[in-house]
Structure 1
Amino acid sequence: MSILTRVPIESASSLLRHVADPTGNADWCYMHAQAAERSANGFGYHPCFSESLLHEMKWMQERIRRSLAADTAPRAGIHHFVLASDSDVFNLGGDLSLFSRLIRNGDRQHLLDYARLCIEVAFNLHRLHEDRVHSVAVIQGDALGGGFEAALCCHTIIAEAGTGMGFPEVLFDLFPGMGAYTFLTRRIAPAQAERMMLNARVYPVEELLRMGVIDQVVPRGDGLQAAADLIKRHQRMSNALRAMNAVREACRPVSLEELLSVTTQWVDAAMRLNDRGLKTMERLVRAQQRRAGSNERALALA
């Protein structure tokens, strides 16, 4: 089915664009809706996991979960959930400006609430409705920190050539705590995963493909069509995919409790950051904002 035949879903969402295939086989969700227009209109939008975006994603996931739960047909096929972006990047990760403010104010509870919200969204990406859903991340721009973690939560990662993925958290003396270790070690060896989490490298997707971290690299501009082609192929083996989802969870289960335990460690580590680490974090925020603003202004003028 052509990706041009998808049907918009009416929603009050302002940061998430949600469309569905007419067949009901897939939901396509785009973060950072109208990012270029927001920047051009003076909103200074930053393509990261803001609390607003996370709440919208959780609401949308729960809506899909309820719809699938209501479909009790025993021979119902596999459903696909595709995560992509309307920005020129996939996602730059956690809301560092929020982190800095909460840490400086000593507001551990707010930071913990944010971290738990991230984990709920991440867990849903991995297991939205038990064995019924196959999640696909389409990387059409850099995926850093929490953006990389969100992609790793998905069953399949499709990336366009020339993009990069990595964890910058160690630059400000922190570690990626929203699922990186759990999901990365299901793709590569734990020692290799730890090196990736602590070396601050932005890996080209071509290298990540060779490592087995991602599943497919396609030419720039072909990511969404590659996902549509994947969905079409999967419909011919829906029963096998559902069985593999069940087998994967039986042999290497991902628990919400494990993810929450790790992210609590992340919150404790974040609250211990000193002024040097916080200043580095704040410099990174400013650099990302300058980059986002420059790219989005260029898109708006194009």
Structure 2
Amino acid sequence: MDSGAGNAIPLTGDEDALAESVLNSAVPGGLFELDELDVLYDDSFAALWTFMRPSGRPSFTPAMLADFERWQDLIADCFGSKKVPLRYLVLGSRSHDVFCFGGDLELFQQLIRSKDRKGLVEYGHRCCAILERNVKSLDLPMLTIGLVQGAALGGGFEALLSFDHIIAERHATFGLPEIMFGLFPGMGAHAFLSRKLGTAMADRIVVSNRTYTAEEMFELGIVHQVVEPGEGESAVREFIKKSERRHAGLVGARKATDRVWPIELKELTDITEIWADAALQLSETDLKVMSRLVSAQARIADRLAAA
């Protein structure tokens, strides 16, 4: 397997050691050639760090989904027993103060206006497949860690719910804004939140159009650790160090949880089809609200690009 640093951006702290680990490890070179994901492998703890680096709005565009699909395929094929060891998989974002805004609302508008149910369903099914593989840890004995250093909204929040452990900086925010334009989150929120919190609380979060703080998500048990701004990466490294001795137990506990409340792909895709049908019923007023949200996201993306 080819190996190289590519366009990976080192983590803060211990940069030289981490960069050296990338150069010397037999990691698949394709991981460092993804357009919208920065990847770095830390062989001292067998940890793969990945940061979303969107080219435009920090959303799950088709290009971003393609990178995630390739990322998962490479990890599943090249890591594991008798291959490159992998004990921890970390996902964060390079967008300042934004983890991810979620679904590609601009694309949704186009598909809704053209009555393209097939396109909506195809997009949703791709998202569901990525989340289902992540919640199963790609069938590898590893722990998955979500690092939140900003806003995790809509599908960005849904994606985090598929991780074993979530560390959030105190200024991070969480929410499902879809109800504001007459829709609901269609790629996992109901399935994950109902299992974690019960159906009543899940429904309250889905329909509230509230933005929740990291502390509130911690109190609910969704976020596992809240740290001060700028300390997220250090907190992840500390969690990894503390988890080394109990790694087998933590992985086993995750597998036991999956056995108690398994999430199957068909459940997720069935909900996506309900979501697609609901999307096609949105009014022009609803689409205008969605347009305003797209414009707000674009302004934030422009500000991030100029920073």
When the two structures are superposed, what TM-score results if normalisation uses the length of structure 1? 0.89
Distance in 1 (alpha carbons) for counterparts of 2:267 and 2:103 = 20
Q: CA deviation at 1:265?
A: 1.0
Letter in 1 for 2:160: A
1:56 and 2:67 correspond: yes
1:233 is displaced (CA, Å) by 1.5
Choose from 23, 29, 49 the match for 1:28: 49
CA contact (8 A) 2:72 2:138 kept: no
CA distance in 2, matches of 1:189, 1:81: 27
In 2, distance between residues paired with 1:269 and 1:72? 47
Query: Structure 2: any 5+ residue segments left out of the alignment?
Result: 1-10
Give the conservation status (yes or no) of the 8 Å contact 1:127–1:133.
no
Q: Structure 1: how far apart are the matches of 2:79 and 2:253? A: 18
Maintained 8 Å contact 1:3/1:228? no
1:245-291 deviation digits (Å, cap 9, x = unpaired):
22112111111111111111111111121211111111110011112
Equivalent-residue separation in structure 2 for 1:24 and 1:234 (angstroms)? 10
Letter matched to residue 167 of structure 1: L
Hey, what does 1:139 align to over in structure 2? 148
Tell me if the contact between 1:162 and 1:220 (Cα under 8 Å) persists in the aligned partners.
Answer: yes
Write out per-residue CA displacement over residues 174-216 of structure 1, whole angstroms, 9 at most, x where no aligned residue.
0011111111123212111111111111111111111212111
Point out the more displaced range, 237-246 or 115-124: 237-246
Aligned to 1:6: 18
Query: Which residue is 2:194 aligned to?
Result: 185
- Identity within the alignment, %: 34
Tell me the CA shift for residue 26 of structure 1. 1.4
Distance 2:85 2:251 in 1: 8
**2:76 partner amino acid:** R
Paired residues in the alignment total 285
Give the superposition deviation at 1:295.
3.8
Does the residue aligned with 1:28 lie in a helix, a strand or coil?
A: strand
Q: Is residue 267 from structure 1 mapped to residue 288 from structure 2 by the alignment? A: no
Higher relative contact order (CA 8 A, sep 6+): 1
Q: Are 2:53 and 2:93, in contact at CA under 8 Å, matched by a contact in 1?
A: yes
Aligned to 1:42: none
Provide the residue aligned with 1:156 in structure 2.
Answer: 165
Output aligned runs, 1:1-302, within 5 Å.
4=15, 5-7=17-19, 8=22, 10=29, 11-23=32-44, 25-32=46-53, 45-69=56-80, 71-72=81-82, 79-88=87-96, 89-130=98-139, 132-297=141-306, 299=307
Would the aligned equivalents of 1:144 and 1:168 in 2 still touch at CA under 8 Å?
Answer: yes
Give the secondary structure class of the aligned counterpart of 1:159. strand
- More deviation in 271-280 or 93-102? 271-280
| Structure 1 unaligned regions, length at least 5 | 39-44
Change (3 A) 1:157 1:295: same
**Preserved CA contact (<8 Å) 2:48 2:89:** yes
Post-superposition offset of 1:6: 2.8
TM-score when normalising by structure 2: 0.87
SS at match of 1:294: helix
Contact 1:142/1:163, CA 8 A, preserved across alignment: yes
